[in-house]
């Protein structure tokens, strides 16, 4: 994961952070007056189409830009509060998971064509799996914290954020990604054009890392929901459960740890294969 720090040594990566944050914040603020689900916490967010795209095109700069953009959106959109703390981490994951998982997707992304596009069915399937994983990771991170803080029940918030994130991007994000990639590449603004493979963490067992990331994100959501709704005395019909249940907090922690471990196992170096081969 060293690239998330090393990227700050590159002026163009810093510019990409600012660009990503500005675009994301602008769209978040524009839709703040839309359909509010939990006042001061969350609403329907069409802007969530952008973080996975930023992550795949701009790598760690896209992840930082998504996190900072969400924070700016909260501040200027009137929703800044306790949830903004883990909202930062959740939105970082929304941009971080895609570029880390892309090259490790079980052969769906060819080694000889790792370009982050969705111009083939196999790459489209890989993108949708990654998008769902990133959406769930974001939901689990934010939902766990706000439930721990006693503000919003985990089952409701984590599930809503996951659906909100995935719904925003599962159709439009692949289209935008395929349209933007050749232009971004032509301008030399892909993160792999700016950083070198040596600046990116090597990782280890990336395919296992991808599996653990999915288990951590999806498992955290499913187990957290089950504990909140049924295993701790609530009824499934109630759905939301209660806020601040210690059983939910404890049940989700192992899955958060799994996601952290997976982040170190995954690399992102696979995206440099095309450039390295062209040098020869």
Q: How many CB atoms lie within 10 A of CB 81?
A: 13
Residue 245 pLDDT > 70, yes or no?
yes
pTM score, two decimals? 0.88
- Quickly tell me which residue has 């740890």 as its tokens: 257
In the chain, % of residues over pLDDT 90: 60
Q: Which two tokens stand for residue 33?
A: 């007056």
173 in Cβ contact with 49 (< 8 Å): yes
156 in Cβ contact with 240 (< 8 Å): yes
Instruction: Please give the pLDDT value at position 47.
Output: 86
Rounded CA gap, 127 and 144, in Å? 25
Instruction: Please give the pLDDT value at position 76.
Output: 84
Residue 224 pLDDT > 50, yes or no?
yes
Q: 111 falls in which pLDDT band (50, 70, 90)? A: confident
- Residue 240, Cβ density class (10 Å: 0-12 exposed, 13-18 middle, ≥19 buried): middle
- Residue 203, Cβ density class (10 Å: 0-12 exposed, 13-18 middle, ≥19 buried): buried
261 in Cβ contact with 215 (< 8 Å): no
Q: Find, among 60, 69, 18, 4, the residue nearest to 190 by Cα.
A: 60
DSSP state, 37? E
Instruction: Please give the pLDDT value at position 238.
Output: 45
Rounded CA gap, 209 and 63, in Å? 19
Residue 54 pLDDT > 60, yes or no?
yes
Rounded CA gap, 279 and 98, in Å? 26
Q: For 171-183, write each residue's pLDDT tens digit.
A: 889 999 999 999 9
- More confident position, 46 or 163: 163
Average pLDDT over residues 71-89: 84
C-alpha gyration radius of the chain: 18
Rounded CA gap, 83 and 92, in Å? 14
Q: Find, among 138, 140, 137, 114, the residue nearest to 126 by Cα.
A: 114
**Is residue 112 helix, strand or coil?**
coil
């Amino acid at each position: 994961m060293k690239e998330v720090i090393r990227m700050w040594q590159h002026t163009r990566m810093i510019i990409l952070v600012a660009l990503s944050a500005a675009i994301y914040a602008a769209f978040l603020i524009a839709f703040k007056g839309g359909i509010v689900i939990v006042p001061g916490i969350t609403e329907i967010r069409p802007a969530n189409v952008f973080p996975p795209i930023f992550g795949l095109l701009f790598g760690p700069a896209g992840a930082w830009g998504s996190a900072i953009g969400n924070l700016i959106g909260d501040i200027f959109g009137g929703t800044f509060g306790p949830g903004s703390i883990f909202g930062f981490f959740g939105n970082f994951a929304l941009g971080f998971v895609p570029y880390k998982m892309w090259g490790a997707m079980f052969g769906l992304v060819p080694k000889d064509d790792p370009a982050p596009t969705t111009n083939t069915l196999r790459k489209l399937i890989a993108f949708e799996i990654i998008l769902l994983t990133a959406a769930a990771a974001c939901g689990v991170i934010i939902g766990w914290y706000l439930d721990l803080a006693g503000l919003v029940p985990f089952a409701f918030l984590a599930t809503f954020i996951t659906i909100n994130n995935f719904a925003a991007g599962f159709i439009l994000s692949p289209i935008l990604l395929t349209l933007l990639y050749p232009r971004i590449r032509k301008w030399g603004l892909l993160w792999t054009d700016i950083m070198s493979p040596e600046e990116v963490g090597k990782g280890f067992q990336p395919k296992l890392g991808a599996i653990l990331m999915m288990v951590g994100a999806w498992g955290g959501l499913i187990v957290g929901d089950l504990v909140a709704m049924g295993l701790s005395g609530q009824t499934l019909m109630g759905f939301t459960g209660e806020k601040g249940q210690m059983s939910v907090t404890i049940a989700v922690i192992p899955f958060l740890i799994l996601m952290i471990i997976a982040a170190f196992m995954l690399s992102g170096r696979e995206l440099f294969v095309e450039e390295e081969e062209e040098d020869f």
